[in-house]
Amino acid sequence: MYEQMTVKKEYTEGRTTFLSADVDHYSGDKKQPTTSLPVFYNPRMQLNRDLSVLFLTAYMEKYAVEMVCEPLTGSGVRALRYLNECPGDFYAKMCDANPLAVETAQRNVETLGFGDRAEVIHGDAKLLLMTESRGKRFDFVDIDPFGTPAPYLSAAIQSISPKGGLLAVTATDMPVLCGVYPKVSLRRYGGFSARTPFTHEIAIRLLNGFIYSVAGSNDCSMEPLAVLSTDHYIRTWVRIEANRTEANRQAGELGIIRYCLGCMHSDILPLSPKVQSVDFDHKMEGCTGPIRVAGPLWIGDLFKESYLNDTIKILESGDTEDYHRKALDVLEKMVEESVLTNRPYIDIHALCDLHNLAPPKNQIIIDKLKEQGFAVTRTHFKPTAIRTDATVEKVTKIIAEHNAR
């Protein structure tokens, strides 16, 4: 009923056309969704949804997916795109607490002809995850909330099939995760965030660490498949499985990251009673700069390389025009960096600011490091950053030499 009073607009994303509240009409000068939007839809999250479609397709090549749940569905765009653009005939349960969103999503389901493959349920996501999974547990759950996903994770993990399922989680509470509110981060995600030049990596690792802990408390393991970082949000894709032995082993993948404000050296340490006595090895002679500590957080892998390669093949075999122009570039950078995530990325611009140096093009530093036998890659986290097994001191020296030429 209320839906008829909403100013609507037809949107197309990927290969899917749907109706939602007109973002421009309700956002005025802000040009992005505001709280006055009667049904939430953010066109700027397209890259997130494009990659989500591709990652689910790649996942389905290895694992059966029969039942999908998107408990915070808004206009329904995400679940609709899965139904319309991913192969298979899985069933989707979509939920929202906003009755207007439910009406809108339901109408979109019907218009797209998915009435027999999807239902839209009105209610609280946590409750519905638990009750709607009673008959058949979910093979894929997508948590895409306003702000923090923390309150939904326990119900989401418990709703996933014990044989294993895909869990995708978005977080948009970036000030908390990026070190503006470290104490809020501790209570929300179980670890301190920190302001560092690689703060988005800390954000991702805090989220993964928290998902691991919630999974572990439910006797489940967590296998990281991919992560996505942008300025406005982070997202992670993991496989959850009822597997105590693996969950026990993964306890070694929790740790802390330490970082010096004076020389920008960072290290990653597993959680252990011995950690406190390990000295921080500053990489600048005489540096006694203050040390920041982030965590406990996830210090294990962030990506599964084979999964990313499968996803790229799917993207390239279809019509790349359907996806965000950055999708392929982001995936290629993820593949590169997937082999070098055992230490945080180095932001070249931050390093140059610290030492009063002019930043050369990243490619120049990458080539020089390679010439000297170091492993080095780009990272999708930041265009100005690299990942390398060279020390921050070595990278600084290469930049200084290049500046002196």
| CA-to-CA dists, residue 274 to 6, 255, 269, 279, 368, angstroms | 60, 12, 10, 11, 37
159 burial via Cβ count (<10 Å: 0-12, 13-18, 19+): buried
Among 97, 271, 312, 350, binds ligand SAM (CB under 6 A): 97
DSSP state of 276: G
Amino acid found at 9: K
**Least Å distance between CB 170 and ligand SAM?**
8
359 sits near ligand SAM (criterion: CB under 6 A): no
Binding residues for ligand SAM restricted to 327-356, rule: CB under 6 A: none
CA neighbor of 13 nearest in space, from 43, 37, 39, 58: 43
Among 19, 37, 68, 125, binds ligand SAM (CB under 6 A): 125
Binding residues for ligand SAM restricted to 25-44, rule: CB under 6 A: 40-41
Stretch that binds Zn ion, among 231-239, 242-250, 256-264, 302-310 (CB under 5 A): 256-264
50 sits near ligand SAM (criterion: CB under 6 A): no
Which of ligand SAM, Zn ion, none is residue 343 near (CB under 5 to 8 Å by kind)? none
Which of ligand SAM, Zn ion, none is residue 287 near (CB under 5 to 8 Å by kind)? Zn ion
Q: Binders of ligand SAM: how many residues, by CB under 6 A?
A: 20
Which of ligand SAM, Zn ion, none is residue 263 near (CB under 5 to 8 Å by kind)? Zn ion
CA neighbor of 381 nearest in space, from 327, 330, 336: 330
77 sits near ligand SAM (criterion: CB under 6 A): yes
Q: Binders of Zn ion: how many residues, by CB under 5 A?
A: 6
CB closer to ligand SAM, 64 vs 146: 146
Sequence-distant (≥ 6) Cβ neighbours of residue 1 within 8 angstroms? 103
Tokens of 392: 């921050």
74 sits near ligand SAM (criterion: CB under 6 A): yes
Which of ligand SAM, Zn ion, none is residue 97 near (CB under 5 to 8 Å by kind)? ligand SAM
Binding residues for ligand SAM restricted to 126-145, rule: CB under 6 A: 144-145
CB closer to Zn ion, 184 vs 350: 350
Whole-angstrom distance, CA of residue 189 vs CA of residue 259: 20
154 sits near ligand SAM (criterion: CB under 6 A): no
**Least Å distance between CB 15 and ligand SAM?**
16
Q: Output Rg (C-alpha) for the chain, integer angstroms.
A: 22
DSSP state of 135: S
CB of 74 within 8 A of CB of 105? yes
SS3 20: strand
Q: Is the peptide bond before 296 cis (omega within 30 degrees of 0)?
A: yes
Binding residues for Zn ion restricted to 288-347, rule: CB under 5 A: 289
Whole-angstrom distance, CA of residue 150 vs CA of residue 152: 6
CB closer to ligand SAM, 73 vs 148: 73
CA neighbor of 101 nearest in space, from 122, 124, 118: 122
Distance of CA 200 to the CA centre of its chain: 10
| CA-to-CA dists, residue 163 to 158, 240, 385, angstroms | 12, 9, 38
222 sits near ligand SAM (criterion: CB under 6 A): no
User: With helix as H, strand as E and coil as C, how does 43-103 read?
Assistant: HHHHHHHHHHHHHHHHHHCCCCCCEEEECCCCCCHHHHHHHHHCCCCCEEEEEECCHHHHH
Among 51, 67, 128, 260, binds Zn ion (CB under 5 A): 260
Whole-angstrom distance, CA of residue 220 vs CA of residue 202: 23
Among 97, 112, 287, 293, binds Zn ion (CB under 5 A): 287
Whole-angstrom distance, CA of residue 388 vs CA of residue 381: 14
95 sits near ligand SAM (criterion: CB under 6 A): yes
73 sits near ligand SAM (criterion: CB under 6 A): yes
CB closer to ligand SAM, 72 vs 260: 72
C-alpha angle with apex 170: 317 to 314, nearest 5 degrees?
A: 5
Which of ligand SAM, Zn ion, none is residue 289 near (CB under 5 to 8 Å by kind)? Zn ion
167 sits near ligand SAM (criterion: CB under 6 A): no
Among 50, 96, 103, 173, binds ligand SAM (CB under 6 A): 96
The footprint of Zn ion (CB under 5 A) covers 260, 262-263, 282, 287, 289
Query: For binding to ligand SAM (CB under 6 A), which residues are involved?
Result: 40-41, 45, 49, 72-75, 77-78, 95-98, 101, 124-125, 144-146
